[in-house]
Structure 1
Amino acid sequence: MSEENDLTKDGSLHDSVPVTGMYKEWFLDYASYVILERAVPAIEDGLKPVQRRILHAMKEMDDGRFNKVANIIGQSMQYHPHGDASIGDAIVNLGQKELLIETQGNWGDIRTGDRAAAARYIEARLSKFALEVVFNPQTTEWQLSYDGRKREPVTLPVKFPLLLAQGVEGIAVGLSTKILPHNFCELIEGSIEILKGNPTNVLPDFITGGLADFSEYNGGQRGGKVKVRAKIEEEDSKTILIKEIPYGTTTDSLIDSILKANDKGKIKIKKVVDNTAKDVEIAVQLAPGVSPDVTIDALYAFTDCEVSISPNACVIIDDKPVFLNVNDILAYNTKQTKALLKRELEIRKAELMEKLLFSSLEKIFIENRIYRDIEECTTWEAVLEAIDRGLDPYKPDFYREIVQEDLIKLTEIRIKRISKFDAFKADELMKRLQDELKEVNYNLRHLTDFAIKYYENLLAKYGKGRERKTEIRAFDTIEASVVAANNAKLYVNRADGFVGTGLKKDEFVCDCSDLDDIIVIRKDGKCMVSKIQEKNFMGKDILHVAVFRKGDERMVYNLIYLDGGSGRVMVKRFQVLAVTRDKEYDLTKGTKGSKTLYLTANSNGEAEIVTVYLTQGAKARVKVFDFDFSTIEIKGRGAGGNILTRYPVRKIQLKMEGVSTLGGLDIYYDPIVGRLNTDQRGELIGNFLGDDKVLVCYKTGEYELTSFELTNRYEPSNVLLIEKFDEDKVISAIHFDGGTKTFYVKRFQIETTTLNKKFNFITDHKQSYLKVVSTEKQPQISVKILKGKEEEVMEYDMDMLIDVKGWKAIGNKLSSHEVKEITLIQSKKSSQEETVDSEEEAEDDEQIEVGKTIDLSVKKDDEEQLGLF
């Protein structure tokens, strides 16, 4: 704008208005509007304004029949000042939660991501639960709608923790809210516990099912986290099935994430087939030679089969956003429900007292023929005065003063009613009213008990079919580098010092993953770990290169090196457990001229024997001698080592391959996550060496032999026995045959050798199951049987009930009477044997301690070579 236009007629400038203040005010107004009117729910009813207006409109339309959603949208637009699309989406969202709205037609599928049909094709009505719990015009606070033509509720008087049951998600200006849905039955049970004065801790439950780890839930507050996994089953060695998907995903998005992980080489699969119909089923067909257990872990690590959800419980209280714990929200809603129930009782009490008052007035008016006193009255005032005068003797018995409105109501009684008045029926009616009033007064005095009964009634009426869908689990941590498929090949150029996946003309090292770290040990005694790359310089004269496993205590390096400072030849055994990437570490003493003479990397702590050849000019009398690495201890990488010899070494040769000096591996089974571990979590199942196997017996009546790989997975709810496999042990089992409805006992030995294949050793009937299994020598059971009408408890040695037979034999009947209960008890003989074994082990330990004082006399020359002096 030119300066001429800015000038007024008198030549002065217009008054300028700064826009900064306007922006600030407008922004705050907009932010407040979005927070309060669109994105964040009110704590009282757990609803956003659009949801509240939809439910109010549906209540106005309610006649028990379904209404077209298009009509509901039109009715809601009288209260919600926004477009029909936003209202339609909100209705579909409410309908898919299957709590407040009954639906008819194609409402979409949250599992597959399919959208609902158009609003003109689908129908809805309020559920019986919503009609009972959400609405009560007498306890509702009202306000004018946006155009002032209608009344709408400020909040609905919801007598249930609706906010936590449905969950909510919204993004406002400067804040967001994300409250996860919780289980219907558990919320009611939690409210009952709160009313009883007990603490409660409610956890989310998702309509899509799946598995969830709530160890970091933090009450749904900011900073918390929920890990949700798909439920995956192993159908056979070539196929795994995804039966339930994580909350917030769809079958389409899940399949896309699997295909992307396969394209990137993170997992190896052949095909993915979506068989979802009534129930979710995604079949993942594996590539040949791929382990199902490792693939399941890889799906959790690299795809949407595991997702992490960050809750953020934010609600509106007194027109302000407040961040709360979900247990505090539940306590607030429970207190509110109790207050609403009290208001309803008080309203009902007032109604009953008014009915009793008028019934009493009516009876007095008719029985005492007060109506005849008004026959000669000539004015309306005289009529009212005559009736009032006739009631005077009875006024002290009424709970309140008789007002003119009461007198007018008496004049409105019809002659027909007076002529047919039945005093007995009137007394009966008053008796019923008095009984109800007595009950209401009792409930008001015992309000907490009344609220508990109210919740129990809700649970009984609406709880069926709303059991928990999401299984609560503690998840194990999956190392992505361990389960990643080997999608690359590692090469090395030892002389020039290059390592990587792109050196295809150089020496092949091994298959690897692009997530792996690589360890290199060079001739100069330096060690380095680096992330795998296409081509990476890691120093010349590489002696050892391999995939590095952090914290691998079984990997032991045997090293002989020349110390450049002293000229001595040193020997050491060490581990590399944790390092900083791309940092060089000295495995020698770091002096100039130090170099590696001999190096081996041993994945199970093997200690070989080598022959050491000294130079011809060495002054030592013995110029060739053997050295056993098992004679020295395993230490850290920074240890200097022991002196092997002070004389110059010509060469070192391997004489004999070594055996592990670490002993067997103690394997534990964690029944919470269903995984093997070496961290002493769970129960010790045995000490394992190379070819040892794990025996697993399942409740389904199957047994399986597996390796002791830590990547193995076992379904905890189905495992009845897991231990180290001993082919000489006899398995004693009691199983129920679903066909004959009879318990059988059998004893057998494992005759199969195939790993990772389940063999069924009970009948094939779908109701058959394994009740008891043991590998004790003399297992004992306690059996409660029903003889006639009397119960009798018997104890049996299972080895006395039946001989050892083939694993396919059905066995013998446990009892001809009805079996009520079977309990496995520890055999006394077995306990005694274990005690004897432990005593023998203790004696062996004592002998070992004594055996340490052995003769260490050796020749002086040999001692010099071994560095003992």
Structure 2
Amino acid sequence: MSEELDDRIELEGDTVKASSAEEKAHYQKLMGETKKYRLSGMYKDWFLDYASYVILERAVPHIEDGLKPVQRRIMHAMKKMDDGRYNKVANIIGYTMQYHPHGDASIGDALVQLGQKDLLVDCQGNWGNILTGDSSAAPRYIEARLSKFAGDVVFNPKTTEWMASYDGRNQEPVTLPVKFPLLLAQGVEGIAVGLASKILPHNFIELIDASIAHLRGEDFELYPDFPTAGMVDVLRYNDGLRGGAVKVRAKINKLDKKTLVITEIPFGKTTSSVIESIIKANDKGKIKIKKVDDNTARDVEIVIHLANDVSPDITIDALYAFTDCEVSISPNACVIIDKRPHFIGVKEMLRRSTDRTKELLRMELDIRLRELEEGWHMSSLEKIFIENRIYNSIEECETWEAVIETIDRGLDPFKPMLRREVTTDDIVKLTEIKIKRISKFDTKKADEYIRGLEVEMDEVKNHLAHLIEYTIAYFENIRKKYGKGRERKTEIRSFDVIQATQVVVANEKLYVNRKEGFFGTNLKKEEYVCDCSDIDDVIVFLRDGKYIITKVTDKGFVGKDIIHIAVFKKNDSRTIYNIVYRDGKNGPIYMKRCAITGITRDKEYDMTKGTAGSSILYMSANPNGEAEVLKVYFKPRPRLKKLIVDLDFSELAIKGRSSMGNIFTRYAIHKVVLKEKGVSTLGGQNIWFDDTIRRLNAEGRGTHLGEFLSNDRILVVAKNGTYYTTSYELTNRYEDEILRIEKFDPEKVFSITYYDGEQKFFYVKRCSLEASDRPSELVGEHKASYIVEVNDDDYPQLEVTFGGANASRPAEHIDVDEFIGVKSSKAKGKRVSTYEVGKLEFIEPLDKAPEPEEEELEEGEDGPIDLSVDPEDYSNAKQMDLGL
């Protein structure tokens, strides 16, 4: 009975109409015990087949040629149609449908994607734009043909394995004999059942170089290169395997203080999506801009106009933090190998591709060698047949068998000269030679032709014997023939970690009710504290010494009697809190200085020793470690002579936030007032420049630029021949190709060698630089002008090496200090030499001891004291000279 009920339930599916209480009870028992549904029919038998079909025949590329089935069929169809002229895409789609079992839309989309990769397909017409996201024109309006590159590396019917098409009417390739790492060059993305494949595109030239390195047994590295350019951080690329990720950023340039220009966008994004994300971030208050203009045509140009009170450097960081100007891409290198999906890294893909290229070249050489040997055999056989007039012996033969036998006997004396046995097919071919050809046979030409075949056979055999060198030469030829214009577009960079709280626009206002202990952005009737953003943290101190760090909210409660509230900056070691507190109700008075760099959010901490009844008497938060002087009034008591004393925080060391501090007094205090504002006790801030991310930092990464005080600036000399000065704010960005970056000194004299693109001569100049927020020219505005070297030695020495027609002339050494005087930075300078210059280089500076300067004596002075004599003797001598 139980089995019958099971069958009935299975047939009825997941909706069971119980005809009896027994059936209902059995069903409920079954479902309660197993908690599983039984699948039957197509679900049970066909789902695995469907999943396998999608994985193998639709979504995932094959390791051997790097193509999905639809792409392979398109390429095969285009080869069959190829006559050197363009074909309508609609015709290509129709022709491909002979091999592809799906509709025309999938073929058309795949063909457009192949065309936009600009590698295998030569396109004509509007094929869309990967930068703007514009779609292509209809298939009847656009045309395509195979590129020359595809013709050279993708096809060879002699080395292709064939199979029947889906309807059995045609033959299509199992895989194409691609002799190039096409999969890594184009990249691929596909979603199958239960898995996906995402292989990022790589650089054409770098792939060839890596293939050559593999053939030579050398190691190599491969990183993505995107057609949309931009910048990429490959620190976590993980060889393209699952779990890895790359960060891609747009290239943003500062046109001026109020204008930013995006000239390159992240891979997978369009100008429309980037602009939309910028507008959305602006609407949410994350960034602050006036408007965005899209001037994109052939190249990307998104112009962002900033508000007057916004820093362009901070806005650039905010664009990376809150918009599609920075995206993270997770690769997933999945390919088909031996009819199964495999996850392998891009380095292994390249090794397999290179090894397959070597094997295909070997197959082609073997085939060519067999063709040459066959040609040599038939040419030699034909020569023997004609020169020895063997054809005359068949005149009396009456049957076909007799003809074959007669020719075979006539060839017997010459068979040892041949390289293989003579077959019946060979003899049949001899009988097919026309009389006209026999009559015009030229022995000399025949010998030359045979010798040419022998030379080529020796060449092919040499290639087979040195297959690795032959394969390397093949790749080098591909690079030479097709590598021009395919240099790397995406710049590999290390990205700094942008703290969103440091770059977000202050889009809210913070208020506080100190007495009741409430704070938030909606308490608009309460005391205004400061501007903030909705993702900021705030730090709140209470009178009893408790403090807490929590998120900005509409309205929050932290505790009554708030004495200090501010936006909290994590890892800020320069904000110093100066505090005077009483330990307990009647305990001693303590003073302390500390920084709060980072604690657990929403956890309560104590600035005092934690004794019940403790209270903060005075507190200040100093953004640059200032130490003020307080006037402290004591409560009168017997024997207390001094009722007013000063408390100077500069005499107190800065310690940890959990330290109890130093005892100031054990007497009761009446009040504490500020006597004098202090100055920073932290000194200047040490600044470093990290060249990998081109940012400033205070953590010791990169080149130390020096200790900076409030008015100090940074000098940047760019390779394009300009210089400018900036503040030392850590949010500054330095995207130019930097030749020199250092602490700015207006008194320093620089010696600069440069090439004048207009005059086409090398010059040298000496000058001091003036502070300038905007880039100022050092070498003129001609595009071909550039700085060779910048030197700051006191007495620089320049070595001039000559070139061209004067290359044999010995090098000259120039004392730059004597050669040219110090002039304005706008001065042209002095031409280095009238001869053709090959190289300029500053060498070891000259050692010139400065001449002592004579001091001018004022009236009544007698000049400097001669320290070689005794001061008393000098005094006596002076009195004698004066007649005293």
Q: 2:693 aligned with 1:673, yes or no? A: yes
Match of 1:143 in 2: 163
1:625-640 to 2 correspondences below 5 Å: 625-640=645-660
Match of 2:751 in 1: 732
| Cα distance in 1, alignment partners of residues 616 and 174 from structure 2 | 82
- Aligned amino acid, residue 696 of structure 2: L
| Cα distance in 2, alignment partners of residues 116 and 710 from structure 1 | 45
Given that 1:518 and 1:548 are in contact with CA atoms closer than 8 Å, whether structure 2 keeps it comes out as: yes
Match of 2:865 in 1: none
Displacement of 1:701 in angstroms is 2.3
State which of 755, 760, 776 in structure 2 corresponds to 1:759.
Answer: 776
Q: 2:455 aligned with 1:435, yes or no? A: yes
Q: 2:701 aligned with 1:720, yes or no? A: no
TM-score for the superposition, normalised by structure 2: 0.90
| Cα distance in 2, alignment partners of residues 205 and 663 from structure 1 | 46
- Aligned amino acid, residue 764 of structure 2: V
CA 1:322–1:831 in structure 2 vs 1: closer, same or farther (change >3 Å)?
A: farther
Q: 2:555 aligned with 1:535, yes or no? A: yes
Q: Deviations over 1:236-280 (max 9, x none)?
A: 111111111111000110110111111111111111111111211
- Aligned amino acid, residue 841 of structure 2: T
794-803 vs 628-637, which moves further? 794-803
Displacement of 1:565 in angstroms is 7.0
Match of 1:806 in 2: 824
CA 1:623–1:69 in structure 2 vs 1: closer, same or farther (change >3 Å)?
A: same
426-435 vs 628-637, which moves further? 628-637
| Cα distance in 1, alignment partners of residues 589 and 764 from structure 2 | 67
Displacement of 1:79 in angstroms is 0.5
Q: 2:207 aligned with 1:187, yes or no? A: yes
Match of 1:388 in 2: 408
Given that 1:243 and 1:282 are in contact with CA atoms closer than 8 Å, whether structure 2 keeps it comes out as: yes
440-449 vs 652-661, which moves further? 652-661
| Cα distance in 2, alignment partners of residues 241 and 793 from structure 1 | 46
Q: 2:508 aligned with 1:488, yes or no? A: yes
SS at match of 1:636: coil
| Cα distance in 1, alignment partners of residues 58 and 682 from structure 2 | 65
CA 1:335–1:702 in structure 2 vs 1: closer, same or farther (change >3 Å)?
A: same
- Aligned amino acid, residue 498 of structure 1: F
SS at match of 1:634: coil
Q: 2:627 aligned with 1:607, yes or no? A: yes
CA 1:639–1:780 in structure 2 vs 1: closer, same or farther (change >3 Å)?
A: same
Q: Structure 2: which 5+ runs fail to align?
A: 12-36, 851-884
Match of 2:572 in 1: 552
Given that 1:618 and 1:647 are in contact with CA atoms closer than 8 Å, whether structure 2 keeps it comes out as: no
Q: Structure 1: which 5+ runs fail to align?
A: 7-16, 833-869
| Cα distance in 1, alignment partners of residues 627 and 848 from structure 2 | 38
Q: 2:418 aligned with 1:398, yes or no? A: yes
Displacement of 1:735 in angstroms is 2.5
1:60-139 to 2 correspondences below 5 Å: 60-139=80-159
577-586 vs 695-704, which moves further? 695-704
Displacement of 1:663 in angstroms is 1.4
Q: 2:344 aligned with 1:324, yes or no? A: yes
Q: Deviations over 1:531-571 (max 9, x none)?
A: 11111112111111111011101011111100007711111
State which of 727, 730, 741 in structure 1 corresponds to 2:760.
Answer: 741
| Cα distance in 1, alignment partners of residues 45 and 795 from structure 2 | 84
SS at match of 2:444: helix
Q: 2:611 aligned with 1:598, yes or no? A: no
| Cα distance in 2, alignment partners of residues 509 and 302 from structure 1 | 26
- Aligned amino acid, residue 524 of structure 1: D
Q: Deviations over 1:660-691 (max 9, x none)?
A: 12111111111222111111111111100111
Q: Deviations over 1:377-432 (max 9, x none)?
A: 11111111111111112223333222111111111111111111111111011000
Q: Deviations over 1:756-815 (max 9, x none)?
A: 322223322222222222334333332223473424323334322222222322222222
Q: Deviations over 1:454-490 (max 9, x none)?
A: 1011111111111111111111111111111111111
Given that 2:806 and 2:836 are in contact with CA atoms closer than 8 Å, whether structure 1 keeps it comes out as: no
| Cα distance in 1, alignment partners of residues 795 and 573 from structure 2 | 39
Percent identity between matched residues is 60
| Cα distance in 2, alignment partners of residues 560 and 159 from structure 1 | 78
Displacement of 1:316 in angstroms is 0.2
1:428-577 to 2 correspondences below 5 Å: 428-564=448-584, 567-577=587-597
Displacement of 1:583 in angstroms is 1.0
CA 1:135–1:831 in structure 2 vs 1: closer, same or farther (change >3 Å)?
A: farther
| Cα distance in 1, alignment partners of residues 848 and 648 from structure 2 | 42
Q: 2:814 aligned with 1:796, yes or no? A: yes
Q: 2:258 aligned with 1:238, yes or no? A: yes
Q: Deviations over 1:428-464 (max 9, x none)?
A: 1100000000000110100001100110111111111
**Aligned pairs, how many?**
817
State which of 184, 199, 220 in structure 2 corresponds to 1:164.
Answer: 184
Given that 1:231 and 1:243 are in contact with CA atoms closer than 8 Å, whether structure 2 keeps it comes out as: yes
TM-score for the superposition, normalised by structure 1: 0.92
CA 1:352–1:542 in structure 2 vs 1: closer, same or farther (change >3 Å)?
A: same
State which of 430, 434, 455 in structure 2 corresponds to 1:410.
Answer: 430
Given that 1:57 and 1:75 are in contact with CA atoms closer than 8 Å, whether structure 2 keeps it comes out as: yes
State which of 776, 797, 801 in structure 2 corresponds to 1:780.
Answer: 797
SS at match of 1:44: coil
SS at match of 2:305: strand
Given that 1:556 and 1:575 are in contact with CA atoms closer than 8 Å, whether structure 2 keeps it comes out as: yes
Given that 1:214 and 1:226 are in contact with CA atoms closer than 8 Å, whether structure 2 keeps it comes out as: yes
| Cα distance in 2, alignment partners of residues 462 and 814 from structure 1 | 41
State which of 341, 351, 356 in structure 2 corresponds to 1:336.
Answer: 356
| Cα distance in 2, alignment partners of residues 731 and 185 from structure 1 | 40
18-27 vs 107-116, which moves further? 18-27
Match of 1:769 in 2: 786
Q: 2:288 aligned with 1:271, yes or no? A: no
1:340-351 to 2 correspondences below 5 Å: 340-351=360-371
CA 1:374–1:823 in structure 2 vs 1: closer, same or farther (change >3 Å)?
A: same
Displacement of 1:19 in angstroms is 4.1
Given that 1:673 and 1:716 are in contact with CA atoms closer than 8 Å, whether structure 2 keeps it comes out as: no
Give RMSD over aligned pairs. Answer: 1.9
Q: Deviations over 1:698-729 (max 9, x none)?
A: 22222212110001111252x12211112222
- Aligned amino acid, residue 742 of structure 2: E
State which of 20, 25, 29 in structure 1 corresponds to 2:45.
Answer: 25
Displacement of 1:830 in angstroms is 10
Given that 1:672 and 1:716 are in contact with CA atoms closer than 8 Å, whether structure 2 keeps it comes out as: no
659-668 vs 135-144, which moves further? 659-668
Displacement of 1:626 in angstroms is 1.7
Q: Deviations over 1:805-856 (max 9, x none)?
A: 2232222222222221122335365999xxxxxxxxxxxxxxxxxxxxxxxx
CA 1:141–1:830 in structure 2 vs 1: closer, same or farther (change >3 Å)?
A: farther
CA 1:518–1:135 in structure 2 vs 1: closer, same or farther (change >3 Å)?
A: same
Displacement of 1:18 in angstroms is 7.0
1:829-840 to 2 correspondences below 5 Å: 829=847
Q: Deviations over 1:45-87 (max 9, x none)?
A: 0000000000001111111110000000000001000010000
CA 1:86–1:830 in structure 2 vs 1: closer, same or farther (change >3 Å)?
A: farther
| Cα distance in 2, alignment partners of residues 782 and 198 from structure 1 | 39
330-339 vs 224-233, which moves further? 224-233
CA 1:21–1:572 in structure 2 vs 1: closer, same or farther (change >3 Å)?
A: farther
SS at match of 1:333: helix
